[in-house]
Structure 1
């Protein structure tokens, strides 16, 4: 489990196992009305596809994440959102369908301890193994830092506190899908082969911050030298060579694939691998799903995962204040 996001207790979103009445998440209740799937490409960038080297070529990844070996992958052309899905876009989905996210139905979610906006009585406890994450009653996409917070001034920021299942529901409504892990990495690289970041190998070329990550001493002091303590607007800094914004830092992004540390090692035989795809659905509700890109809480002292090759995972029902998503689509 990534130290960048709170560990799940095996039932989905982070919560103390003793919390009464919070152990089951079923289908969305009430007025949720999924609409028929329709293909929609607004806000998406057409990528040419091609063959690229997938994985960590610098030996900087964590063994448990399985960032190697580097291997050739060939992708067909596809489309991908230029930005992560924003609060405004997610609000339109909720208004149209009546959807309730898993965090809303569960009643609690994970918030970084310095960002909590809640009464002490709403702080249920600490997330297992990551004491800088607090389990907060009333935290959800509408109230990402707790019930005393709001997305009113964050309409152009990435939506957070959304699970993989929530992301799937949005994609079905929007006529899109989640990107595969291979599609995500190809897009994040922006056409640069074998580099650490979407802009090259230096974190701060010419002394300029290009992404929203942690500065200072984690987890007690964030100097916010990059201009943001928490999430940044979805169109912050400069886009990469493909015109995509914030592919590293800011928020983790869900991908379609099931996560396994040996995914790359298992890709033996005929290379390059053609358009590898993880299942979009899994009968196990607690299967781990791939997350990519790192977040505003990543720091090289404990979570050097704001590199384009970095990968992690969490259960499909987990949500946190630093996890969002962007959508993709077939080219035709």
Structure 2
């Protein structure tokens, strides 16, 4: 990650801005009525299901209020009612857990817990909260001083609005901020939190890492797409080129990683070398290194599936592909709603095929989705895992494929017109079809070993 993406916080420690922004998606603002007075505190998500978010905070932040209000980072101006699942109000450093189960917004994350790290003092920590008179989701840093009984002590400017927030070290939660005393803060260790969550029957679901990018087994960079809903109106392109708009509906997609770029000639060549498969018919025309980073084309659906399997990945479903391209704001193209021009992506060049017709992957900065995935509008169209059916059938399932059935294709290409670059557009072809404007990329599930 480049230094341009990093920032210095309150202490001389370097923290990556993109990573901090991702942590904020797991931190919440909590407002409650405590002893007749308004209270503002912090909490963080420890478990995220399709229809519920489970949140931990300090007990005194919500004590006496059965329905505290929750504010999520992706929707900072909308509050959500919560239910108190458990609270330990018997001591000043007690914890509580809440559940929000109404229309969970997209873009949230469950923060990973670390109950095993032993701090010796001097470690730099980060915490996020809502101190008075400062911006919401303020990021602060401090250092571990030691322990007072079972509690962690850290040196930092800690205020009441930080109570209930996560104490972060090395990308994971090591404690829950529960008390402030001058320039000293106190936190309940995650090992204690884990015991409390078990008693409240809440199983943490935070991943081992909040990395936005990983490398696949083939060495290709992959981008994380968070779990959540998005709205689609899948459009169909017929064999005559006529476009029909589909039914608008909401789709839920689980978290996954997708190749940042289309599979390149160089990576596909390594696959051919290892497996002994035959390359596309133009393979003898390739000149290295100038063609290495061009997208591979002229492969069948079976070829694409075989490559992904070799790389310990799979082809994307069309819902996964569309969310990667459009995000959740309903945009028409990966870059937004502006009509495409030659500055946006590679399209409408037409003519006979030549390798020079293919742009090197990632060379059009504007053809970049909200998640940082490149070339989803133009350059080459891409094979999907799904078998073709009518867009009116909302129950699309790549696992229920019919042998020999036509396969879905998404995205525009160097040899298509501008109206075919729309992210919602879908078409199809026989799985044995070969087209010099058709390539692919792969996806993988979280936790898959490279």
> What are the Cα deviations for residues 80-137 of structure 1, in whole angstroms up to 9, with x where unaligned?
0000000000011111111125x5xxxxxxxxxxxxxxxxxxxxxxxxxxxxxxxxxx
Distance in 1, matches of 2:302 and 2:387, equals 13
Partner of 2:113: none
Query: How many angstroms does 1:283 deviate by?
Result: 2.4
The aligned counterpart of 1:290 is 408
The reply to whether residue 232 of structure 1 matches residue 359 of structure 2 is yes
Higher RCO (CA 8 Å, separation ≥ 6 residues): 1
Which residue pairs with 2:417 in the alignment?
299
Partner of 2:297: 160
Aligned residue in 1 for 2:398:
278
- Say yes or no: does 1:315 pair with 2:430: yes
Q: Hey, what does 2:445 align to over in structure 1?
A: 330
**Match 2:309 to one of 149, 165, 172:** 172
> Where in structure 2 are there 5+ consecutive unaligned residues?
1-215
Q: How many angstroms apart in 2 are the aligned matches of 1:49 and 1:60?
A: 25
Q: Distance in 2 between matches of 1:209 and 1:280?
A: 39
Alignment deviations for residues 220-245 of structure 1 (CA, whole Å, 9 cap, x no partner)? 9xxxxxxx971101111113221111
Q: Deviations over 1:259-279 (max 9, x none)?
A: 12x1x3122xxxxx6xx5323
Following superposition, the deviation at residue 67 of structure 1 comes to 4.4
Inter-CA distance 173–60: structure 2 relative to 1 (3 Å threshold): closer
* Alignment CA distance shift 1:298-1:86 (3 Å): same
- Aligned partners of 2:400, 2:357: CA distance in 1, in Å? 30
Corresponding residue of 1:212: 346
Cα contact 2:258–2:444 (8 A) shared by 1: yes
Aligned to 1:18: none
CA contact (8 A) 2:345 2:378 kept: yes
SS at match of 1:201: coil
Structure 1 segment 29-178 matched on structure 2, within 5 A: 40=217, 42-56=220-234, 67-101=245-279, 139-140=281-282, 142-143=283-284, 149-152=285-288, 153-178=290-315
1:194 aligns with 2:330: yes
Aligned CA distance change for structure 1 residues 54 and 156 (closer, same or farther; 3 Å): same
RMSD: 2.8
Equivalent residue pairs, number: 225
- Inter-CA distance 229–306: structure 2 relative to 1 (3 Å threshold): farther
Could you list the runs of 5+ residues in structure 1 that have no partner in the other structure? Answer: 1-38, 104-138, 144-148, 221-227, 268-272
In structure 2, relative to structure 1, the CA distance for the partners of 1:247 and 1:195 (3 Å cut) is: same
Shift of 1:305: 1.2
CA distance in 1, matches of 2:325, 2:400: 20
8 Å Cα contact 1:67/1:311 also seen in 2: no
Identify if the C-alpha distance between structure 1 residues 209 and 315 changes in structure 2 by more than 3 Å, giving closer, same or farther.
same
Q: Secondary structure at the match of 2:309?
A: helix
Report how far residue 253 of structure 1 moved.
0.4
1:251 aligns with 2:251: no
Q: Is the 8 A contact 1:65 1:312 kept in 2?
A: no
- In structure 1, C-alpha distance between the alignment counterparts of 2:400 and 2:383, rounded to whole Å: 11
Equivalent residue of 1:170, what SS? helix
C-alpha separation in 1, matches of 2:296 and 2:287: 9
Q: Which has the higher strand share?
A: 2
